[in-house]
Structure formats: C-alpha cells, structure tokens
C-alpha cells in the first residue's frame, strides 16, 4: 500500500539515546533541555531571529492572533488547511477570503487589496505546499493599510526566499512539525518572529502567561513542546538535507513522467529554494480526477484531495464565492511523496495517471 505520505523515522535507538538525557533527569516537559536544543539548532541552521517550539502547528496561529491583539476582519486564503481559517474564527475574528492565483495557488495580492475594509486588521497568508507567497506585494499592502501579517508556513520548513529563511517574513510565521511533514517532531510546531518585543509576548502566551515561576505577565495558554517531541525532532534533524535531496529527486521524476498538456503543475516562485513538500497535480476536470483516483486506489495507491473543499464553502466560515480556489480545489490531487518512496513507485503511479487522462 502506498499512502500519500509516510513519516520519516530513523533507527529507534537514535531516538532513545537522545531521549535518555531527559529520562535520566525525569524532566519531560516545561521547556526542558531538548526543546531548547532543538530551537537553537533550527535558529543556527536557517539563521533565524527567534523561534518558539510548540506542541502542535495550530496553536501558533491562535497565539499569533492573540499576541498581535487582532480584532475585526482578517483577510486570508480559501485554499489552505482548515486550521488557517478556523484559528481566525476561534479567536473571535472574522475570516474574509481573497481568491488565489491560478498557477501558484497562493493568495492573490490584488484580491487582498480589493477586500480591505475599515474593519480589516491583518492578513494571514499560506505558503501553499511550501511555495512562497508574493512577499513583496503583501508587505506593500500591509504597510499601505497599516495591517499585520501572519504567514501560515506549515509546509515551508527549510524554504529560503532571496537568501533568507521564509520564517523571517511577516510579523509572525508559524510552522507545523506534524508527523507527515518533511521535518517533524511526531506532533508539534513553532512560532517565528524577528521582533524581540513580539517574541516576548508570544513566549508568555505559549506558557500560561508565566513571568517566572510565581508571577504572570498576562493571559496565556499551554502550547509547550514536550521533551518526547523534541527528542524526535533532534533525531530527524540531522537527516533533513538528505530528506530534501531524496524528495527533490522523486519530485523531478514525477515532472518528467507526467509531462502532458492535460495536467497542470504548481508554479514555484522565482528566487526561492523549494523544499519539495508536496507534489500537487491539477486535472482538467473533477470527473477526470475521480477516475484517476479510483484507478490508483484499485492499485492500493492513496493520493489525497488536498486542499478540498475550498474553505469559503464551509458553512461556519460563511465565505463569498471564490472562483479560482473552488475550481482548483475540485481538480487537485496530491500524489504520494516521501523519503521511502521508490522510483519504481513513482513510475507506476505516473503510468496509471497517464493511462486515464
């Protein structure tokens, strides 16, 4: 059986050896040494200003909204995972959707500006499948209208844009370290910011609002990463470059095998070092997608309709019609892509797709 993804797991003995230091100290949570070590390794490798490791990838979005004291309307993309928009609603703000670019799948800056009102306080944009947004255009709009910018960079670990980590853009960036991601801690995530004062607020918010063991800076929640999670991250981290290289090879093999005018690939933004997080494929129609998906499933191959449905169509989010996002979401399929996938697997998957389009 070939699933859309598979967690990268080094030898278990490597994990146990790293975890043993915390096990021996009986220090397994409350920002132990492994969490701090993981944060430092991430900062050093990607030259990042500030990072806070968290227990999942959704809480960082909620904490960022809280720390920036956002109210009213937040403009966001309809083409993302549900957490992007649900975090806005969860924090009692109103998500206002702006349609996407048909080739990059990222939020369209022109649509952002068209949806700004006197109630708009921020933009939350997703680097879809790790593909950087139009960062310059979004920053220009934010400065023009005095808006905050949060980037949902759940898929973008390791991505570099114009020589700088993608996490260094915007007021806050968030990431997921879920087990299915290219870098993972089993379950986990992180907050990133360049601003020291904002970092302090994010830090307090993620740790109950503590200011030392007895005092409280203000309102907070428990989003701390455990030592078990950090140990997994530290075990996976040394393999990151190998993971990227392997995924790049498989990604480019898909591109060569699926070279057909009937299929659309995502346009990766210029000046970026991509991380090959996903291999999305857009078909001519939803019926064609369903035919291919059924054929793949019959061969024990399980791609994913991702992102589907377009978030503006979900009842509780009450979005307006989004022509491009709704069209792409009905026709897009993410193919299997992970470290242990073989070239033979990619050839087999590609041959089935070509046969049915």
Same domain, 189 and 265: no
Q: What pLDDT score does 318 carry? A: 85
pLDDT at 278 over 90: yes
| Domain stop point among 238, 260, 275 | 238
Task: For 167-178, write each residue's pLDDT tens digit.
Answer: 999 999 999 999
pLDDT at residue 272 greater than cutoff 80? yes
pLDDT of residue 217: 82
Inform me whether the pLDDT recorded for 281 exceeds 90.
yes
Q: Are residues 217 and 291 in the same domain?
A: no
Same structural domain, 232 and 247: no
CATH code, domain with 227: 3.40.640.10
Whether pTM exceeds 0.95: yes
| Rounded Cα distance, 182 and 12, in Å | 18
Read off the CATH number of the domain in which 251 is found: 3.90.1150.10
Cα 266 to Cα 38: distance, rounded to the nearest angstrom: 32
Sign of CA dihedral 104, 310, 313, 169: negative
Contact of 268 with 166, CB cutoff 8 Å: no
The verdict on 46 and 152 lying in the same domain is yes
The tokens describing 129, both together, are 């499948």
Beta strands in the chain (DSSP E): 2-3, 50-54, 73-76, 94-97, 120-126, 148-152, 160-161, 164-165, 172-176, 189-193, 210-211, 215-216, 264-265, 272-273, 279-282, 301-302, 332-335
Q: Are residues 225 and 243 in the same domain?
A: no
> What integer pLDDT is reported at residue 212 of this predicted model?
74
243 and 116 fall within a common domain? no
SS3 label, residue 29: coil
Confidence (pLDDT) at 219: 87
Question: Percent of the chain beyond pLDDT 70?
Answer: 100
Q: Does the pLDDT value for residue 216 go beyond 90?
A: no
Among 238, 255, 276, give the residue marking a domain's end: 238
Whether residues 324 and 339 share a domain: the answer is: yes
pLDDT in tens, 68-102: 999 999 999 999 999 999 999 999 999 999 999 99
- Whole-number pLDDT of residue 60: 98
| pLDDT, mean of residues 307-335 | 96
Q: Are 213 and 340 part of one and the same domain?
A: no
My answer on whether 104 and 185 are in the same domain is yes
The residue out of 203, 238, 273 marking a domain boundary is 238
Q: Identify the three-state secondary structure at position 304.
A: strand
Is there a single domain that holds both residue 106 and residue 170? yes
How many domains does the structure of the chain reveal?
Answer: 2
Residue 210 pLDDT class (50, 70, 90 cuts): confident
What is the mean pLDDT of the segment spanning 306-328?
A: 96
Residue 283 and residue 292 in contact, taking contact as beta carbons nearer than 8 Å = yes
pLDDT band, very low/low/confident/very high, at 213 (cuts 50, 70, 90): confident
pLDDT tens digits for 134-186?
Answer: 999 999 999 999 999 999 999 999 999 999 999 999 999 999 999 999 999 99
Residues 175 and 244 in one domain: no
Q: Which residue range forms the structural domain that includes residue 245?
A: 239-356
Residues 24 and 173 in one domain: yes
**What mean pLDDT is reported for the chain?**
97
Using alpha carbons, select from 190, 184, 266 the residue that is nearest to residue 233. 184
CA atoms of 278 and 276, how far apart (whole Å): 6
């Amino acid at each position: 059986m070939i699933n859309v993804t598979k967690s990268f797991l080094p030898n278990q003995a490597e994990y146990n050896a790293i975890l043993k230091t915390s096990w021996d100290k009986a220090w397994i949570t409350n920002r132990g040494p492994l969490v701090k070590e993981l944060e430092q390794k991430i900062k050093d490798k990607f030259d990042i200003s500030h990072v806070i490791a968290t227990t999942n990838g959704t809480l960082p979005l909620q904490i960022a909204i809280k720390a920036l004291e956002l109210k009213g309307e937040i403009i966001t993309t309809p083409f993302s995972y549900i957490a992007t928009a649900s975090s806005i609603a969860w924090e009692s703000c109103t998500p206002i959707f702006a349609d996407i670019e048909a080739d990059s799948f990222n939020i369209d800056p022109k649509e952002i500006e068209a949806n700004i009102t006197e109630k708009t306080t921020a933009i939350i944009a997703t680097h879809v499948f790790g593909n950087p947004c139009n960062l310059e255009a979004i920053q220009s709009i934010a400065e023009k209208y005095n808006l905050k910018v949060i980037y949902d960079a759940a898929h973008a670990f390791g991505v570099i844009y114009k020589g700088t980590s993608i996490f260094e853009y915007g007021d806050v960036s968030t990431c997921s370290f879920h087990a299915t991601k290219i870098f993972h801690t089993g379950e986990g995530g992180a907050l990133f910011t360049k601003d020291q004062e904002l970092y302090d607020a994010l830090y307090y918010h993620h740790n109950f609002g503590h200011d030392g063991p007895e005092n409280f800076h203000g309102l907070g929640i428990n989003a701390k990463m455990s030592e078990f999670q950090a140990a997994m991250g530290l075990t996976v981290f040394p393999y990151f470059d190998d993971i990227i290289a392997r995924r790049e090879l498989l990604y480019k093999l898909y591109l060569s095998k699926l070279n057909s005018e009937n299929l659309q690939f995502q346009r990766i933004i210029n000046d970026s070092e991509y991380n090959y997080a996903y291999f999305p494929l857009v078909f001519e129609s939803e019926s064609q997608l369903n035919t291919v998906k059924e054929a793949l499933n019959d061969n024990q191959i399980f791609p994913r309709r991702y992102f589907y449905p377009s978030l503006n169509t979900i009842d509780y989010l009450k979005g307006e019609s989004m022509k491009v996002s709704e069209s792409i979401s009905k026709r897009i399929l993410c193919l299997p892509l992970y470290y242990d996938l073989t070239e033979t697997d990619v050839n087999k998957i590609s041959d089935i797709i070509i046969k049915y389009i």
